[in-house]
Amino acid sequence: MDDELNLTYITLGGHVEVEKYRYLYFVIMFTVYILIICSNSTIVYLIWIHQNLHEPMYIFIAALLVNSVLFSTAIYPKLLIDFLSEKQIISYSACLLQFQFFYSLGGSEFLLLAAMAYDRYVSICKPLQYAAIMRKTTVSIILVFAWILPAFQVAVAAALDAREKICAFILNGIFCNNTVYKLQCVISGARLIRDMIIFLNVAVLPVLFILFTYTRILIISYRSSSEVRRKAAQTCLPHLIVLINFSCLSVYDVIIIELESDFPKIVRFIMTLQIILYHPLFNPIIYGLKMKEISKHLKRLVCPARMNYVNTDN
């Protein structure tokens, strides 16, 4: 019976003094999860109900924020349950499912940021062709592609990993990311090549594409009027900040499997929390404050009386 249990269940060994601080952890992370859902959903709601926000740029922002909610939902409920449980365990199949959601939605983040960069490139560098290029059909195809491609590729990887024999049953983490590979008895060269191809498709190529498009935008803006430069800075800067933030967290997640023994447990615990805490909260703040039209509708939603007073004075 014990052998059967070991073959089925994995212990999440990345928690730090969970017995002592379980209720504090739970309250903090539950509050963060509610804030993530409310903040992201509020921006999506504003984009949904206001006709002037039914443009490709805002639709991509809404998709990115929905992606953040899905990303958090793949992690937080299980994490909250673990904080209140005597044992932090997960079945190997459920672990692979969480692995699937974590990396497919992470890949979708990069592809959606690439779509936003392309939208800004067409808007600023080819304004007369914008309506013809960024049609509703094109936007829909891009959104489907951004979610389907990573999901399919990571699903294949997870299905193949499910057939691998595992020789370890303690995962040095608080959820199932690439540290799952440390559980396997053998890490084959074919698996490394497969993962590199997936990483190239859903992360490296989108980032290179984003850098290329923003370089072109920078060149065109520099040669254009101050109005074009202002528009470029206003709409592109939030996307670049989000990209840099998410890329740094993703780099940490990629290298942690190689360097985990060099990190103290408390440092690894804190850094892992940053991946699931900082970014989903960061996105709605950036877009809510830095995107002028969204910020205007957000202020009107939060302080309707004050905005009506200002409009009356004007």
Entry pTM: 0.87
Q: What is the pLDDT of residue 311?
A: 52
Q: Positive or negative, the Cα torsion across 53, 56, 59, 60?
A: negative
Helix or strand (DSSP H, E) at 201: none
Instruction: Please report which residue ranges of the chain form alpha helices under DSSP H.
Output: 2-8, 18-49, 56-73, 76-84, 92-125, 130-133, 136-161, 189-199, 205-223, 226-259, 265-290, 292-302, 304-313
Q: Positive or negative, the Cα torsion across 262, 100, 273, 28?
A: negative
Quote the percentage of the chain above a pLDDT of 70.
91
Q: Is the pLDDT of residue 115 over 90?
A: yes
CB contact at 8 A, 143 and 63:
yes
Res. 192 pLDDT band, cuts 50 70 90: confident
For residue 44, give every residue at least 6 positions away whose Cβ sits within 8 Å of its Cβ, in sequence order, or none: 62, 65, 66
In the three-class reduction of DSSP (H, G, I as helix; E, B as strand; rest coil), residue 134 is classed as coil
Which structure tokens are listed for 97? 């499912």
Q: What is the pLDDT of residue 4?
A: 42
- Structural domains in the chain, CATH included, are 2-308 (1.20.1070.10)
Lowest mean per-residue pLDDT among 18-22, 43-47, 161-165: 161-165
Q: Kindly list the distances between the CA atom of residue 308 and the CA atoms of 46, 231, 299, 311, 313, in Å, as whole numbers in the listed order.
A: 18, 27, 11, 5, 9
Burial class (CB in 10 A: 0-12, 13-18, 19+), 155: middle
Q: What is the pLDDT of residues 57-83, one digit of tens each?
A: 899 999 999 999 999 999 999 999 999
Q: What is the pLDDT of residues 279-313, one digit of tens each?
A: 888 888 888 777 778 888 888 877 765 555 445 44
Which structure tokens are listed for 11? 């212990």
**How far apart are the C-alpha atoms of 261 and 278, rounded to whole Å?**
24
What mean pLDDT is predicted for residues 106-129?
A: 90
**How far apart are the C-alpha atoms of 90 and 109, rounded to whole Å?**
26
